Amino acid sequence: MKKISLVALSLVSSLIALSQGANSPRYCGQVGRTMQFHQHNPECGHEVRLAEAELEEYARNYSEEERGGGQIIYQIPVVFHIIHNNGPENISDAQIYDAMFILNRDFRKQNADTIAIVPEFADIAADIGIEFVLASKDPDGNCHPGIVRVESELTTDGGSDMKALSMWPRNRYMNVWVCADAGDGTAGYTFLPATVSGNWGAQNDGIVLRHDYTGSIGTGSLFRSRTLTHEVGHWLNLSHPWGPTNSPGDAGNCDFDDGVDDTPNTIGWTSCDLDGASCGSAIDNVQNYMEYSYCSRMFTEGQGSRMRSALTSPIAQRNNLYTTNNLILTGVIDPELCFCDFRLFANTACVGQPITFNDLSYHGIEQWSWDFGDGNTLVGSDPNVHKNPVYTYEQPGTYTVTLTVTNGANSLTVTKENIITIFGYAQETAPFTEGFEETWPNDAWAIYNHDGDLTYEITPSTAFSGTKSLKLRNFSNNEPGRVDELLSATYDMSAMDTVWLSYRWAYANKISGTNEDRLRIQVSGDCGANWSTRRTRSGTNTLPTANPISSQFTPTSSSQWGGETIVMADEDWMTDGFRIRFEFTGQGGNNFYLDDINITASDTTTIIPTNIREVKPTFVYSVFPNPAKDQTNIRYYALQTEFVSAKMYNSLGQMVAIIAEENVPAGETLWVVNKQPAGMYTIVLEKAGYRQVEKVLFE
């Protein structure tokens, strides 16, 4: 069999075209990334070739008794770095656990589909004798779940800069980065040990995976679930069966070899042709984990020997990972029960609605004990039942929940006061007004503070009407993506056909910097099981009601408040489980205020409600679409016949259109605004000496 330097070939091998469609499989980026690495580090080529030769010699001399797994089971500490930008790439812990399960199953030959290995290779399918364990201690010796989450736009980079955001020492952990895009259209990649053997490679040593090629649940899938198995094979010095190229199917691959005696030379496969034969072999090992066939289910004994030799060699410091001392330092041996916590994905529900409690505790838990605060408990050791229980409350109220976990020797307990509010159906009726002048909090509202930091609070410093309003301190928010929710109780709208929600808000940008603050108004007809967004306002254009300010914003006059009314008439919302949610996401802006929330409804005998509380005239309107291309529309609702002016101004303050100056009748009026040059415009509505301002973007 011909041999060729992996480094030399990677410099000239072509990168397979990987710009597949959404439903086409992606492949490995090891060869392409290696080419890039050497192009950026040409001075390391000689040392890489020396390390490669040393590793090949080590593999040839590896003890025969260790081939095929031997008697020693090696354990490797693993840390996952989830690099995300609050998108689907921020995969759940459960998806990571699933990926780890699949990796260990495949490396220990415990996958049920080994029964379908073709007879020609069934006898040499190997238990590699290597296991992978999430670390339970970080590099400083602190208790840790082995999963790091970092928010960054570099999630689409997949390269060295992304890795630098979070990197644990490679001589103690196998680093795995999960991101939105691994680069070059690939499913993932890593480097062979020799490529990163020196100090130049230490900061690049590890495995990068696209989130949707990680595990079989969540954003992953069963079809794509063995990408990590493939990449760990590379990380332990396996090449593709057709040799060190990334061009499977090329007849020229018959001239190259993967350095493993029991894998026949092959051109490489991107389809599952179990009868496939090439390069003179009787049959190719199409089901090999290192193939691109997407029907892989085995390593060979020769591959096992090669991987174990790489693990026990000093190249790239692999041989320190499984040592007893390192397993103690990383918490693989005798993991400590050191953390007890749980979370809810929603802290409100209705009587009879199932609620999932998610245990976040670690490590080595053998039993869970839940006290749900209503006189009922759940105790047991079955993780499928007791770790993340689903519970239903039968009475309205606010409940305190306690979790106790034990590892058989030690126990930890956490109690969360008033963690969940259970509403009855039809708890409130319209019309309803909330000016935040009375006792707060009250039974009509609940707050969900996702991050456990500052959240909605009553302030006596400013109000649109009265003396108080609801404030969200957002000026000093240094954690992008902080979410706070104000959630209503249930309203009985079952006999209604239209609901009007009006409210006042105040907000200003900071003078310097940018922000991605966002307010979303959402409605539910099934007590919050599902939410529909009715209005979204962004901090850059449609949320501000006052000029930018460098200090903390506090509105000082009614002119610094905005107001609007949202009209809702979908029959799915006309139930006894009608609810409203104000969701504010803070991403670098200033303080936010709410006041004068009014909920009014009408049945089929009432055309327009007349009991919306007003301190100054309420402007009931919507502007759509926004952003606009060809035109935008203003749908205006009048409570009675009234004179209204609507004008539009460009970013220079010049009036570009008089949309309306007319008496409008009670009910709905639609105005059409024709296409404008690209830019931001201001629509000013005026009546009875008051005005309302709305931003609209023409693209």
Is 394 annotated as catalytic?
no
Q: How far apart are the first and last CA of the chain?
A: 62
The answer to whether the CB of 389 falls within 8 A of the CB of 431 is no
Cα–Cα distances (Å) from 501 to 323, 425, 597, 601, 668, in that order, read: 64, 19, 7, 9, 16
Cβ neighbours of residue 128 closer than 8 Å, sequence gap 6 or more: 69, 107, 108, 109, 299, 303, 304, 307, 308
Annotate 50-76 with DSSP letters as a single string: HHHHHHHHHHHTS-GGGGGG-SPPEEE
Cβ neighbours of residue 660 closer than 8 Å, sequence gap 6 or more: 644, 645, 646, 669, 671
Q: Tell how strand 445-449 and strand 562-568 pair up.
A: unpaired
Spatial CA neighbour of 236 closest among 107, 46, 333: 107
**Main-chain phi, psi angles of 140, to 5 degrees:** -90, 0
The two tokens of residue 161 are 């800069």
Cβ neighbours of residue 546 closer than 8 Å, sequence gap 6 or more: 506, 507, 508, 553, 555, 560
Helices 93-107, 227-235: axis angle to 10 degrees equals 60
Annotate 529-564 with DSSP letters as a single string: SS-EEEEEEETTTTS--S--BSS-----SGGG-EEE
Calpha distance 652→322 (Å, rounded): 67
Q: Which of 52, 56, 89, 231 is catalytic?
A: 231
Percent of the chain that is helix, strand, coil (3-state, to 5): 20, 35, 50
Calpha distance 165→178 (Å, rounded): 12
- Catalytic site positions: 231
